[in-house]
């Protein structure tokens, strides 16, 4: 399959620059996984498409203010780091800019020396490993010095930091939000529980693997960067029971999907585990873990468009995207939502 097969034209004015005042007011496109039939609703209507017994799987990762802007100790040149992955205590894998100005041993200062980073390994494609040096609590310093790492297509200032996190965000460590979950409110989640729908969680700390662009014309040559995930014992038991009873498992977001498919592909069941995943899902992939998916509208030619195309069919997805464009849906991180709706199980 070629990269161009997953391209589409999006008017720039449809790229959502700010979140809506109320999370659940966003539009919701319902795409029938079997037939390709499309309906147009609002996200609060998602409850009408979930049935008692369904299991809704949320990614409870929490975005940190992972964008740091500092200066080289030696030359005062401006350096930007985006924290991607905590490798071990105080050692982080980061995306750096400008990469060429850095070498192993370079010291970067942030916030008038409140925080320093030493480059301990220079890799490729802008990636460096740094060791942070500081006094106090690292996350407190990040809150003080860091910025929320909004995608480059968002040009507006984010007034409220918490709007780039889900209401259920808990486990600190993401460089980007699992955006499908941004539409849920506490009130809507409670209504879903009241309908006898089980809600459980996984963790995937979003890093480079999710948003790095595909640059190979043959998509099968693309290499996914790995991201850390966890599936705890409670969630594993809930999901295992649902599978046994042939109940539907609905993933909220491509990140939750990647966790569940990684675990099921490895063990042929759900079990407590953690590690790194670089699973790349594109058309031809046979889903083993999930039945349906709540997701946002993704960038052209991205691995995320490929994943949803694997679930609902490339032609169905491109048709749905075109209809969303016609109806002026808002796209990308702060944009509207889609539910790839599976058939009811017997």
pLDDT of residue 345: 77
Q: Using 50, 70 and 90 to split pLDDT, how confident is the model at 11?
A: very high
Mean pLDDT for the chain overall? 95
pLDDT digits (tens, 9 = 90+) for 291-314: 999 999 999 999 999 999 999 999
Q: Using 50, 70 and 90 to split pLDDT, how confident is the model at 343?
A: confident
* 346 pLDDT more than 70: no
> Mean pLDDT over residues 266-292, rounded?
97
3-state secondary structure of 257: helix
**In degrees to the nearest 10, what's the CA dihedral of 150, 151, 155, 158?**
-20
Helices (H), the chain: 138-145, 186-194, 208-211, 233-244, 254-267, 303-312, 314-326
* 210 pLDDT more than 70: no
pLDDT of residue 213: 85
> Mean pLDDT over residues 199-221, rounded?
89
* 56 pLDDT more than 70: yes
* 285 pLDDT more than 90: yes
Closest Cα partner for 22 from 213, 167, 226?
167
> Mean pLDDT over residues 78-95, rounded?
94
pLDDT digits (tens, 9 = 90+) for 164-197: 999 999 999 998 999 999 999 999 999 999 999 9
* 211 pLDDT more than 90: no
Cα 341 to Cα 142, 212, 270, 344: the distances in Å are 39, 27, 22, 9
pLDDT digits (tens, 9 = 90+) for 110-146: 998 899 999 999 998 899 999 999 999 999 999 999 9
* 209 pLDDT more than 70: no
284 phi and psi, to 5 degrees?
110, -20
Q: What percent of the chain has pLDDT over 70?
A: 99
d(Cα 307, Cα 299) in Å, to the nearest integer? 12
Closest Cα partner for 210 from 196, 195, 222, 227?
227
d(Cα 153, Cα 207) in Å, to the nearest integer? 17
> Mean pLDDT over residues 190-218, rounded?
91
pLDDT of residue 245: 97
* 163 pLDDT more than 80: yes
* 199 pLDDT more than 80: yes
Please tell me the least confidently modeled range out of 82-91, 187-196, 254-263, 268-277: 82-91
* 225 pLDDT more than 90: no
């Amino acid at each position: 399959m070629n990269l161009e097969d997953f391209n589409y034209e999006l008017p720039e004015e449809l790229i959502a620059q700010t979140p809506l005042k109320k999370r659940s007011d966003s539009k919701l496109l319902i795409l029938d996984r079997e037939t390709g039939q499309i309906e147009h609703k609002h996200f609060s209507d998602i409850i009408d498409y979930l049935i008692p017994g369904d299991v809704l799987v949320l990614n409870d990762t929490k975005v940190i203010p992972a964008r740091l802007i500092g200066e080289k100790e030696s030359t005062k040149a401006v350096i930007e780091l985006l924290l991607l992955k905590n490798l071990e205590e105080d050692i982080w894998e980061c995306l750096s800019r400008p990469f060429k100005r850095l070498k192993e041993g370079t010291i970067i200062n942030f916030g008038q020396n409140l925080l320093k980073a030493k480059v301990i390994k220079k890799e490729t494609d802008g990636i460096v490993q740094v060791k942070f040096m500081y006094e106090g609590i690292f996350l407190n310093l990040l809150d003080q010095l860091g910025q929320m790492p909004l995608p480059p297509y968002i040009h507006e200032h984010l007034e409220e930091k918490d709007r780039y996190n889900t209401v259920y965000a808990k486990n600190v460590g993401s460089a980007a939000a699992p955006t499908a979950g941004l539409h849920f409110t506490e009130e809507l989640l409670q209504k879903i529980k009241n309908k006898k729908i089980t809600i459980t969680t996984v963790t995937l700390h979003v890093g480079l693997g999710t948003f790095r662009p595909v640059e190979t014309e043959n998509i099968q040559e693309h290499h996914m960067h790995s991201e850390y995930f966890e599936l705890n014992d409670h969630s594993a038991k809930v999901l295992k029971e649902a599978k046994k009873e042939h109940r539907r498992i609905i993933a909220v977001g491509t990140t939750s999907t990647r966790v569940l498919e990684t675990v099921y592909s490895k063990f042929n069941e759900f079990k407590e585990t953690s590690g790194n995943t670089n699973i790349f899902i594109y058309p031809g992939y046979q889903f083993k873990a999930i039945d349906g998916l709540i997701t946002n509208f993704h960038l052209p030619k991205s691995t995320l468009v490929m994943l949803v195309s694997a679930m609902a069919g490339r032609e169905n997805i491109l048709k749905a995207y075109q209809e969303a464009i016609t109806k002026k849906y808002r796209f990308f991180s702060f944009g509207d939502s889609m539910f790839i709706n599976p058939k009811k199980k017997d």
